[in-house]
Amino acid sequence: MNRASDIRLGYHVDMADSISIDFGRPISLFPLPGVVLLPHTVQALHIFEPRYRQMVEDCLAVMDGDDYMTADHIAIASLEPKLQDGSSANHQQPPLKPAVCIGQIIQHEPIAGGRHNILLQGVCRARIDSIDEPEHDRLYRQAYLKPIGAPHVAAPPMLQVREEIRSALTCSCLHRLQSARTIVNWLDREDLPTHAIIELASFLLIKDETARYGFLEEGDPVHRASMLQDELDNLHRLVQLAEQQGSSDWPKGLSWN
């Protein structure tokens, strides 16, 4: 299986909220165990399987010059839980969870042997409607997708939510966490709308794959804000407990640094 390398967080103001998705044509499917991409976030991927090398090459082949915004999209899909351990009899085409994140290639580096390093930025949520299995010369699956939520309707400003997130990160034991400082820096940026910060913060804080998938399949930005606030409450309790018990019991994935 191709792998996700270091996870990078980013936001391109001119891109993530402005790219138009043509839901009338099939979109390439890229199933990845342990990876749940979210809109506005960026994932580094190393592509080495022949079928997905072909997928990346096909997506890049339609580019207008060097403009990655004209490349075809890739939808990152999650495997059904029972297949995470490789127990499925159909390793080549395992069943997928319905919710996916459509991504845009924003950087590409060809590597010796036909492999690729790419940066994929999440654009929007979608749900698998039907799958086109590999056929003829195409080695990878494609799918017709339907949007989750209302991607063409502007998200509410949620200014109160923004201040509540800031308060949770600066007025509690969380303020010393590096991840908290990163999110506060995003909150300080006027070019970052609240709904995008919620995506970025959730990608940074929600480590559990099942919980992150639940966040992906939620189409209502207000409900996603509530999910993030619940995560901050849980994180606050964990950090308090860790401080009481000592650094040897520090929760996995958390650090002051």
pLDDT in tens, the chain (257 residues): 465 544 455 545 446 566 889 999 999 999 999 899 999 999 999 999 999 999 999 999 999 999 999 999 999 999 987 645 555 545 667 899 999 999 999 999 999 999 999 999 999 999 999 999 999 999 999 999 999 998 778 889 999 999 999 999 998 789 888 899 999 999 999 999 999 999 999 999 998 999 999 999 999 999 999 999 999 999 999 888 887 776 555 555 555 54
What does the alpha-carbon distance between residue 96 and residue 77 come to, in Å, rounded to a whole number? 7
193 Cα distance to chain centroid: 17
CA 247 to each of CA 146, 244, 257: distance values in angstroms, whole numbers, following the listed order: 46, 9, 13
Angle subtended at Cα 250 by Cα 247 and Cα 251, rounded to the nearest 5 degrees: 175
CATH no. for 3-147: 2.30.130.40
Domain ranges of the chain: 3-147, 159-249
Burial (CB count <10 Å: 0-12, 13-18, 19+), residue 202: buried
CA 170 to each of CA 18, 191, 236: distance values in angstroms, whole numbers, following the listed order: 32, 21, 11
pLDDT digits (tens, 9 = 90+) for 30-49: 999 989 999 999 999 999 99
N-to-C CA span, the chain: 31
169: enclosing H helix or E strand: helix 159-170
Residue with tokens 């994180």: 235
pTM of the model: 0.87
2 three-class SS = coil
